[in-house]
Amino acid sequence: MKNYDIAAYVWPAFTGDEPRTRIFWPEGIGEWQTVKNEIRDYPQFSQKRKPLWGYVNEADPAVMEAQIDAAADHGVNVFIYDWYWYDGRPFLEQCLNDGFLKAKNNHRMRFYLMWANHDANYCWDVRNAAEECGDTVIWRGAQDEKQFDIICDRLISNYFCHPQYYRIDGKPVFQIYDIDNLINGLGGVEKTAQKLREFRRKCEQAGLGGLYLLVTQWGDVKHNLSGVDSGAHTIDTAGLAARLGFDGATNYQYCHFVAVNRDYNETTDDAEKMWREFYDRYNGKYFPHISVGWDNNPRYRKFRIDIVRNNTPENFEKALYRIKHFVDTHETDAPLITVNSWNEWTETSYLEPDYENGYGYLEAIRNVFCRTEEEFL
């Protein structure tokens, strides 16, 4: 039976152990506050979701041990932790440092980091979130050379050297969420390419064999090649990633590259077309992505129409068979499939069990990826 790397993104905000979360969620339970107090004045579109495991502290190693077992038992074998750096220090590391890394059974799960280097604004604070996330920036995601060097050293010493860190071609995998913010912080394309080469050398010097860099591919985005000027010379993400020396690409959410205001099956139809297109753009160095759903209305007071409908566990399972077929028929460096997500409750895209569907989404993964070949015959 072929092995697959089913990698679910982890949003590490479901804890009150990070003091700075009180800015957004003063109750002291992280973004569970938004989930618990969710306002749903439009039941015709979606139901309020309630976690079957309760509003647990995901920075508690005992909680994480139970989650690791549930994930691994159903075929999810990689966690991708959203990782943040704001105002000269890390943000939301507790779920990884105190939860996952201290869990007694973390040998059952590998992990890697995606640097979520976007700006922080009032999108996380339902009290202040407008129809859109707003222009009010609390912390900048772009980092200069000095901060970047500190970040690289921290990543290598604290995470990349961990025996459970996920690797491709023997190299630790690191994903960048916002390529434009990376370039803007470092002062342009050429400087960014230089700093990424230095990052690779640091990994080699640490005995890690190098670095496998993934870019987060959105839709048909065009980037300013200078990164700092407003010139007309633009390039697509694949071309920019190649110029910077990235090794490959994946996605973070369906809503980033296909229309979502419709039925889940229709959304997956277009996603499958984009898997093929991205695979060609990246010369086979693309790892396909699947999302459970999309509805981020819990973060807002005014209804937002862009939601995925009919994303039942049954339809999710059908989509999983399609992405499995894609991986089986397209050669790449690893059998990696990224999933949004393990626990994006406020975006209504999660594998964790709830009172509406139970373990349905996890069981869908197990049905598709954990059965023997004989069972398929």
Model pLDDT for residues 121-174, shown as the tens digit of each residue: 888 988 887 655 556 889 999 999 999 999 999 999 999 999 999 999 999 999
Maximum Cα–Cα distance across the chain: 58
The residue assigned the tokens 């406020």 is 346
Find the domain containing 159 and state its range: 5-376
* Per-residue pLDDT at 376 exceeds 90: no
Token digits of residue 302:
């005014």
- Residue 41: predicted pLDDT: 54
Question: How many Å apart are CA 171 and CA 167, to the nearest integer?
Answer: 5
Token digits of residue 168:
């491709």
Question: How many Å apart are CA 193 and CA 242, to the nearest integer?
Answer: 10
| Percent share of the chain, pLDDT over 70 | 92
Question: How many Å apart are CA 316 and CA 336, to the nearest integer?
Answer: 18
Q: What is the CATH number of the domain that holds 71?
A: 3.20.20.80
What is the pLDDT averaged over residues 266-287?
98
Q: Total domain count for the chain?
A: 1
**pLDDT greater at residue 219 or residue 289:** 289
Q: pTM value?
A: 0.95
* Per-residue pLDDT at 265 exceeds 60: yes
Question: How many Å apart are CA 279 and CA 176, to the nearest integer?
Answer: 18
Model pLDDT for residues 91-104, shown as the tens digit of each residue: 999 999 999 999 99
- Residue 303: predicted pLDDT: 81
- DSSP code for 370: S
HSE value, Cβ hemisphere, 13 Å, CA-based, for 348:
27
Q: Phi first, then psi: what are they for 94, rounded to 5°? A: -60, -40
- Residue 374: predicted pLDDT: 44
Token digits of residue 71:
């994930």
Residue 4, judged by CB atoms within 10 A of its CB (0-12, 13-18, 19+), counts as buried
Q: Do the beta carbons of residue 286 and residue 23 sit within 8 Å?
A: no
Q: Do the beta carbons of residue 206 and residue 160 sit within 8 Å?
A: yes
pLDDT band at 334 (very low <50, low <70, confident <90, very high): very high
- Residue 47: predicted pLDDT: 55
**pLDDT greater at residue 219 or residue 101:** 101
